[in-house]
Structure 1
């Protein structure tokens, strides 16, 4: 039952409880209790607006790969939180593998992207290496299975 609710909420988090209950084949009171339980347990972390960066004035998106210096390993989580709070950052992923982070950013153009990389990454002594990849298209998954 919870998987059905998650799938439906992933498709449209703004639907009414009655509509969600009907799609799941349960009573509205049961649906409300299940969704509250999913929120309370942290499975559902929140409901968010899906903003189109281009229409909001940030038409250039990039994924920046970041490798940290060996001495900075103890500060990875703090650095991740710092990056997530910066203007234009959409997502920050802490990784295992060749890179320590992927930073998904939306900017108004190449000048702002260049300034971000220099100001927040290249000038940081804890950052060993960055690689910037432009994002031409993006499709958000619309299901949860």
Structure 2
């Protein structure tokens, strides 16, 4: 038997999938409501959710924040390629990217680009300053490419779990 990725052990059965589907749609469901919707006892539901957390299947519960309401309506994906001589500093660069203001997500990639960074900022000037001052000015960076995000669609939980 092979070990599942990222330390996740054990199968996810139909009941676990129902729990995950509901929690992905509404992460703050009280246990008794969750249990009722899944059709299991509250104690069983609590045990299953704890087990899913312990196994690393559930990594956290997050708020879906309206960035425009926070004054950050402009979102972009910035691709970054590092200099060949910078390969030994990939971990440090990843941490650096995660510490920058406006960064929502950092992805380490295989392929033409080394990183993809999802940012949200107030306006085009702030985006330009972010790229120029925090990325292009860094000697380890060979190239950046910025793509504006017009819209974002999050698939339904069922779609994600059935993939």
TM over 0.5: yes
CA distance in 2, matches of 1:71, 1:33: 49
Query: How many residues are matched?
Result: 145
Question: Where does structure 1 differ by over 6 angstroms across 4 or more consecutive aligned residues?
Answer: none
1:14 to 28, 48, 60: 28
Q: What is the alpha-carbon distance in structure 2 between the residues aligned to residue 40 and residue 129 of structure 1?
A: 40
Report which structure shows greater RCO (CA 8 Å, sep ≥6): 1
- In structure 1, the residue matched to 2:50 is 36
**Alpha-carbon separation, structure 2, partners of 1:85 and 1:29:** 40
Decide which of 57, 72, 80 is 1:66's aligned counterpart.
Answer: 80
TM-score between the two structures when normalised by the length of structure 1: 0.95
Separation in structure 2 between the aligned mates of residue 80 and residue 140 of structure 1, nearest angstrom: 25
Q: What is the aligned-residue RMSD (CA, Å)? A: 1.1
SS of equivalent residue, structure 2 residue 147: strand
Cα deviation 1:1-56 (Å, max 9, x = unaligned): 22221111101001111111122221110111111111122221111111111111
**Relative to total residues, which structure has the larger helix share, 1 or 2?**
2
SS for the counterpart of 2:68 is: coil
Structural mapping, 1:1-145, within 5 Å: 1-143=15-157, 144-145=160-161
Q: Which runs of 5+ in 2 are unaligned?
A: 1-14
Between the aligned partners of 1:15 and 1:108, the Cα distance in structure 2 is 33
In the alignment, structure 1 segments of 5+ residues that lack a partner are none
